[in-house]
Amino acid sequence: MRLFAVANATLFLALIFISNSGAYGVDLHWLWDNQCKECHGHSAEFSRKFLKVANGQLQGRHHIEDLRLFMRNHYAFDIEIDAIYDMLLAQIQTEPRFRQECGNCHGSAASFVRQSVVLQAEDLLSQESGRPIRKFLQRHRQLDTNDINFFMRLLNRVAREVYRP
């Protein structure tokens, strides 16, 4: 078990080093999948099932007072605690529409972003065509303006969790 923790810490530090040399920071969804998923499942499902929001703060069933402290004592890297916390908070506050409406074709939102979306400044672009994702959504599955706005907010958030500065 200790060897596993050392190997993960080494990989994590290598990713931080890559981040500081100009590449993206640690993909929060990758981090969750490699550090937490085995015990806790998908991060969005976990947040919706086991966490709640009270006064704008995340609370766990057993760790009501300070979820961040619990996360620090639960193998999370200090440098990523706030980012993971914010990701879980956003997920619990977002309807699971991507999974329900898009998941059969596109998998998870994080997988879709990694495989199909480029974050360029403030714009989401198709990796394949370079066209704005918003323009694509305007012709995709007869989505109305409210649907497009929902999916753009979700994809922008996920892209910033995946492609971190």
Domain ranges of the chain: 27-92, 97-162
Kindly state the tokens that stand for 135. Answer: 């323009």
Helix axes of 145-162 and 81-92: crossing angle, nearest 10 degrees: 160
Task: Return d(Cα 149, Cα 117) in angstroms, integer.
Answer: 16
Contact 19, 26 (CB under 8 A): yes
Task: Return d(Cα 115, Cα 106) in angstroms, integer.
Answer: 9
Shortest CA distance to 97 belongs to which of 29, 143, 164, 36? Answer: 143
Dihedral sign, Cα of residue 125, residue 135, residue 102, residue 51: positive
Single pTM value for the model: 0.82
Helix (H), strand (E), coil (C) string for 78-119: HHHHHHHHHHHHHHHCCCCHHHHHHHHHHCCHHHHHHHHEEE
Residue 142 main-chain phi, psi, to 5 deg = 55, 40
Contacts of 54 (CB under 8 A, 6+ apart): none
pLDDT in tens, the chain (165 residues): 444 444 454 454 444 434 333 456 899 999 999 988 999 999 999 999 999 999 889 998 876 778 888 888 877 778 899 999 999 999 999 999 999 999 999 999 999 999 999 999 889 999 999 999 999 999 999 999 999 999 999 999 999 999 998
pLDDT of 84 reads 93
